[in-house]
């Protein structure tokens, strides 16, 4: 393994959640803090449809990261909502 695996290091927000396009928990959180929402899932979906991903090669799980990215978006948004309430 040449890259850290997000699922094995969930506390490290600098590890990629999306290995093809470089989204990390930190980048998702920063975007939500700045704009109120994350565009990661929508952006990755567009890239997948354009056949510009290499999940089978880049993602240590060997599969698409969209489910992981969506979970991170929900978790981060939920935490930010709790801390601002």
Under 8 Å CB-to-CB from 82, ≥6 apart: which residues?
A: none
The secondary structure of the chain as a DSSP string is: --S--GGG-TT-TTSBS-TTT--BHHHHHHHHHHHSS--HHHHHHHHHHTT---HHHHSTTSS--HHHHHHHHHHHHHHHHHHH-
Position 17 in a domain: no
| Cβ–Cβ < 8 Å for 36, 47 | no
Note whether residue 29 is domain-resident.
yes
Specify the residue for token string 């309430």. Answer: 85
Domain-embedded: residue 37: yes
Residue 7 counted as domain residue:
no
**What is the total count of domains within the chain?**
1
pLDDT tens digits, one per residue of 54-79:
988 998 889 999 999 999 999 999 98
Range of the domain at 36: 24-84
Q: What is the share, in percent, of the chain residues with pLDDT greater than 90?
A: 65
Residue 19 counted as domain residue: no
């Amino acid at each position: 393994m040449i890259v850290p695996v997000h699922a094995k290091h969930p506390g490290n927000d600098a590890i990629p959640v999306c290995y093809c396009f470089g989204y990390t928990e930190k980048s998702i959180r920063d975007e939500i803090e700045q704009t109120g929402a994350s565009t990661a899932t929508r952006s990755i979906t567009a890239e997948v449809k354009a056949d510009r991903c290499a999940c089978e090669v880049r993602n240590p799980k060997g599969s698409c990261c969209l489910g992981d990215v969506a979970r991170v978006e929900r978790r981060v948004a939920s935490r930010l909502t709790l801390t601002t309430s």
